[in-house]
Every structure is written in C-alpha cells, then in structure tokens.
Amino acid sequence: MASTRERVSFFGVLRGQGYEATCTVWATKVTQQGTGNVAYARYTIENVSKVLPDGTYQVLTNGQSFLVRLKNGNWLALS
C-alpha cells in the first residue's frame, strides 16, 4: 500500500533529572493512502529552551510520550 511522508513539527516538553525545558520536536508523518491512517516516525529534538545535562528525559508532544537520552549534545531515542 502506498503512503505519503512529510516532515512536521510540534511543541514539546522535556522532563527528567529534576529539569524541564521546552523544545521543538520534528517527525516524519506517514499517511497510508486509501485508509488515511497516520503514524509518526524519526523524531528529532531541536531548539531546547535551556542547557540540560546528559541523561534520560521524557518527551511530551502531540499527545504522545517517549524516552530519549542526551549524550554529548546528541539526542538518542530509547526503545
């Protein structure tokens, strides 16, 4: 089944280790043609409102929540 993909952004909140910061969360929106089902993939985090220490954070965005790790300035997805 064919699908369309587009990059979209959402307002996000990062929480963890006693810190909270806002950010922009980018994702690839995948829409299945014919059914209209939508899924999001390949999240990236940008424009974090404050400097955060390395560690694990919860991301709250677009009605979803997932865990990420900040390591040496890079955001990594956790499964």
**Domain ranges within the chain, ordered by starting residue:** 3-77
pLDDT of residue 79: 66
* Residue 18 C-beta-side C-alpha neighbours within 13 Å: 1
pLDDT of residue 62: 87
Measure the CA–CA gap between 45 and 78, rounded to whole angstroms. 13
**Bridge partners (DSSP) listed for residue 35:** none
pLDDT of residue 67: 95
Parallel, antiparallel or unpaired: strands 38-46 and 19-32 = antiparallel
pLDDT of residue 78: 87
Does the structure show a pLDDT above 90 at 7?
yes
| Residue 74: Cβ-neighbour burial (10 angstroms; 0-12, 13-18, 19+) | exposed
Which tens digits make up the pLDDT trace of 34-66? 899 999 999 999 999 999 999 999 999 988 899
Please compute the mean of the pLDDT values over residues 2-17 and round it to a whole number. Answer: 96
